[in-house]
């Protein structure tokens, strides 16, 4: 059974776009906030690309291999002296956009190792291979949980073995990724916490009973479609 569920409803002035500009990450009594610009709904986001290019932090791409599959993942490292906790970033329904990579960099700026797998990776393809957001949305919507979880397991395994990681691993996601954050927390009992941003929650006890760490949910006041599912489903399930 989930240890804790913390729900924060942000005021009516904060819609989904502005919610993307607030990222609260709390580990035990430590709170780190990474601020980002509002995301644009496109695969190519020049402002995010420019911020990444100007970042002083180390970035790299890694191949996550499992079950005959190779998944590309973006890694961002903090500039810290001590070993750092790691955050698995689950992208939105648009795939691994420049905004998602920029978020990983902002987490690194706050002192965390961030790994963002491109769940649309296929032989010779990734998020950037899709011609527009509609094509990416269709592809992400077709992803099966078994493959998503296996990809995320590979990301968790990779960061856990990094010499710069202190062994603490949490997960976060936005919108589609927020819903998968709930689901992945139920799948992986080794996660120390989950941070859900306007993601739909579990609708049954079975979808939450294996969650072992605290779940922090961040939702907009004027987002009744998703908020109704949280109030009726996630809270009662956990």
Q: For 160-169, write each residue's pLDDT tens digit.
A: 999 999 999 9
Structure tokens at 205: 């006890």
CATH superfamily of 5-27+48-237: Alpha/Beta hydrolase fold, catalytic domain (3.40.50.1820)
What are the Cα distances from residue 22, in Å, to 49, 147, 216, 220?
19, 29, 13, 11
CB burial of 64-73 (b: ≥16 within 10 Å; e: otherwise) equals beeeeeebbb
Q: Is pLDDT at 121 greater than 60 in this prediction?
A: yes
**Average confidence score pLDDT of the chain:** 82
Q: Which residue has the higher pLDDT, 173 or 220?
A: 173
User: φ and ψ at 99, to 5 degrees?
Assistant: -60, -45
Contacts of 93 (CB under 8 A, 6+ apart): 136, 137, 140, 141, 175, 176, 177
24, β-bridge pairs:
33
- Report whether pLDDT(56) > 90: yes
Q: Does the pLDDT value for residue 147 go beyond 90?
A: yes
**Residue scoring higher pLDDT (115 or 230):** 115
Mean pLDDT of 6-16: 49
Q: Are strands 113-117 and 194-197 parallel, antiparallel or unpaired?
A: unpaired
Question: Where are the extended beta strands (E) located within the chain?
Answer: 5-10, 22-27, 30-35, 59-66, 69-76, 84-90, 113-117, 165-174, 194-197, 215-220
Q: Residue 181: pLDDT above 90? A: yes
Q: Which of 32-41, 47-56, 117-126 has the highest mean pLDDT?
A: 117-126
pLDDT for residue 144 is more than 80: yes
Phi, psi dihedrals of residue 96, rounded to the nearest 5°: -80, 85
- Break the chain into its structural domains and give their ranges: 5-27+48-237
3-state secondary structure 113-178: EEEEECCCCECCECHHHCCCHHHHHHHHHCCCHHHHHHHHHHHHHHHHCCCCEEEEEEEEEECHHH
Q: Nearest 5°: CA angle at 168, between 167 and 172?
A: 135
- Report which of 33, 40, 53, 168 is spatially closest to residue 110, judged by C-alpha positions: 33
Global confidence as pTM: 0.83
Q: Which residue has the higher pLDDT, 199 or 114?
A: 114
Q: 17 and 42 in contact (C-beta within 8 Å)?
A: no
Find tokens 């009973």 and name the residue.
209
pLDDT in tens, 72-88: 999 999 999 999 999 99
Could you give the CA distance from residue 218 to residue 204 in angstroms, rounded to a whole number?
A: 20
Structural contact between residues 2 and 64, judged by C-beta atoms closer than 8 angstroms: no
- According to the model, what pLDDT value does residue 20 have? 42
Residue 38 has what pLDDT?
37
Answer yes or no: is pLDDT of 21 > 50. no
> How far apart, in whole angstroms, are the C-alpha atoms of residue 77 and residue 109?
8
pLDDT confidence tier of residue 200, bands split at 50, 70 and 90? confident
pLDDT for residue 139: 97
């Amino acid at each position: 059974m989930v240890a804790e569920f913390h729900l924060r409803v942000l005021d009516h002035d904060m819609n989904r776009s502005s919610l993307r500009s607030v990222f609260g990450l709390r580990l035990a009594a430590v709170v780190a906030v990474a601020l980002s610009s509002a995301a644009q709904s496109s695969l190519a986001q020049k402002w995010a690309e420019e911020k990444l290019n100007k970042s002083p932090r180390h970035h790299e791409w890694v191949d996550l291999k499992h079950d005959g599959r190779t998944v590309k993942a973006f890694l961002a490292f903090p500039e810290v002296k001590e070993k750092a906790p790691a955050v698995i970033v689950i992208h939105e329904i648009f795939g691994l956009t420049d905004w998602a990579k920029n978020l990983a960099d902002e987490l690194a700026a706050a002192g965390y190792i961030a790994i963002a797998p491109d769940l649309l990776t296929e032989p010779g393809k990734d998020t950037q291979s899709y011609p527009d957001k509609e094509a990416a949305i269709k592809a992400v919507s077709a992803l099966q949980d078994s493959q998503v979880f296996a990809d995320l397991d590979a990301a968790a395994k990779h960061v856990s073995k990094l010499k710069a990681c202190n062994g603490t691993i949490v997960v976060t996601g936005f919108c589609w990724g927020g819903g998968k954050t709930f689901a992945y927390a139920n799948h992986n009992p080794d996660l120390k916490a989950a941070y859900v941003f306007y993601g739909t929650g579990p609708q049954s006890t079975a979808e939450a009973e294996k969650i072992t760490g605290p779940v922090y949910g961040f939702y907009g006041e004027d987002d009744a479609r998703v908020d109704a599912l949280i109030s009726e489903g996630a809270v009662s399930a956990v």
